């Protein structure tokens, strides 16, 4: 380990030990019954450098439901397949509203503000259904290729749990359908959506899977070109402005990296050309983002003085 990377190891270790001793505020995502059962004290961190050195702390090898973090991977797949046409169906603006809000859709004529809020991801699911015969298998195979990990799977248990209480997402899908921006069966779109959100990974796996966004669109481990440089830049930009729902501005202000959160308590953040950092802690703040994860990343980029700005 070279001196700079050793310095990062020590910084993360110190922050990890500090955060784990402090009060862990928030609650697990109780609107998805299976997620409410997860131990809220779990806490894992992984840092992967673009030279492939990786280290982790705490519960970094325990799998968890990545939930909305998978929306980045869904977007990458569909953007790769359709090119710029995707932006005819979904916008790239911060929403300023909660992730499951219906408020803007009628004003915006069924075009979601960005692909990371629920309405946006539902539209991207609809596009995926239209371009392949078996979208669940197609997406899962893409994730396995991007991550280099062929053991990654959907969680039937979590998907069914989320589907059992998916009243708001059902309303969103039907409302977008009524406005003409869902082309397939709302039931098929919602089924694909809950399965995509049910993907399970550990922090270590998550960092590897997102390595292409820190490496000009190329997977770190086998040089697989996931996206071109322009597409990679655009997805990182949307993560920077829209990756944390109506707390995206706060994350940019306090952390200064492109990132994406999920209500399973995971966060992944990118320092282009240098590293990928993943954090998991299931208790969420009022905006639906990991309380400890947000705290850890703010202290981490403050200590390292890292930022894309």
Beta strands 54-58; 44-49: pairing state: antiparallel
Cβ-in-10-Å burial (0-12, 13-18, 19+) of 33 comes to middle
Quick: pLDDT tens for 232-273.
999 999 999 999 988 999 999 999 999 999 999 999 999 999
Question: Hey, CA dihedral for 22, 23, 24, 25, is it positive or negative?
Answer: negative
> Are 72 and 209 contacting, i.e. CB atoms less than 8 angstroms apart?
no
Which structural domains are found in the chain, ordered by start?
A: 1-304 (3.40.710.10)
**118 assigned to a ligand binding site:** yes
193 in a labelled binding site: yes
What is the C-alpha separation between 96 and 1, in angstroms, rounded?
42
pTM of the model: 0.96
Q: Is 263 annotated as a binding residue?
A: yes
For residue 79, give Cα distances in angstroms to 73, 186, 227: 10, 21, 8
Annotated binding residue at 275?
no
Instruction: Please report the pLDDT score of residue 83 as a whole number.
Output: 97
When pLDDT is cut at 50, 70 and 90, the band that residue 98 belongs to is low
- Phi, psi angles (nearest 5°) of residue 130: -75, -10
Q: Is 167 annotated as a binding residue?
A: no
Q: Is the pLDDT of residue 101 over 80?
A: no
- Supply 284's token pair: 């969420």
Would the annotation count 24 as a binding residue?
Answer: no
Please tell me the predicted confidence (pLDDT) of residue 107: 86
* Ligand-binding site membership of 13 (annotated): no
Calpha distance 210→278 (Å, rounded): 9
Q: What is the pLDDT of residues 143-152, one digit of tens each?
A: 999 999 999 9
The number of angstroms, rounded, from the C-alpha of 115 to the middle of its chain's C-alpha atoms is 11
* Tokens matching residue 132: 């392949």
Buried b / exposed e along 38-63 (16+ C-beta atoms within 10 A): bebebbbbbbbbbeeebbbbbbbebb
């Amino acid at each position: 380990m070279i001196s700079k990377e050793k310095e990062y190891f020590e910084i993360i270790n110190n922050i990890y030990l500090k955060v784990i001793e402090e009060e862990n505020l928030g609650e697990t995502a109780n609107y998805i019954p299976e997620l409410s059962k997860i131990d809220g004290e779990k806490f894992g961190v992984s840092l992967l450098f673009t030279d492939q050195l990786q280290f982790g702390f705490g519960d970094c090898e325990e799998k968890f439901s990545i939930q909305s973090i998978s929306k980045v991977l869904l977007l990458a797949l569909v953007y790769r397949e359709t090119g710029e046409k995707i932006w005819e169906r979904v916008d790239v603006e911060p929403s300023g509203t909660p992730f499951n809000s219906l408020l803007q859709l009628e004003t915006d004529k069924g075009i979601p503000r960005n692909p990371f809020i629920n309405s946006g991801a539902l539209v991207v699911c609809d596009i995926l259904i239209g371009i392949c015969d078996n979208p669940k298998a197609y997406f899962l195979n893409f994730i396995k290729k991007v991550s280099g990990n062929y053991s990654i799977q959907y969680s039937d248990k979590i998907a069914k749990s989320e589907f059992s209480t998916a009243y708001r997402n059902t309303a969103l899908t039907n409302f977008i359908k009524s406005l003409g921006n869902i082309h397939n069966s709302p039931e098929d779109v919602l089924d694909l959506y809950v399965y995509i959100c049910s993907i399970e990974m550990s922090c270590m796996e998550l960092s590897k899977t997102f390595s292409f966004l820190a490496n000009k669109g190329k997977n770190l481990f086998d040089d697989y070109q996931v996206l071109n440089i322009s597409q990679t830049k655009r997805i990182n930009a949307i993560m920077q402005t829209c990756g944390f729902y109506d707390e995206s501005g706060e994350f940019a202000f306090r952390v200064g990296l492109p990132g994406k959160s999920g209500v399973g308590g995971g966060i992944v953040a990118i320092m282009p050309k240098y590293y990928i950092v993943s954090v998991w802690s299931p208790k969420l703040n009022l905006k639906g983002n990991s309380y400890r994860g947000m705290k850890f990343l703010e202290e981490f980029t403050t200590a390292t003085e890292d930022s894309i700005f």
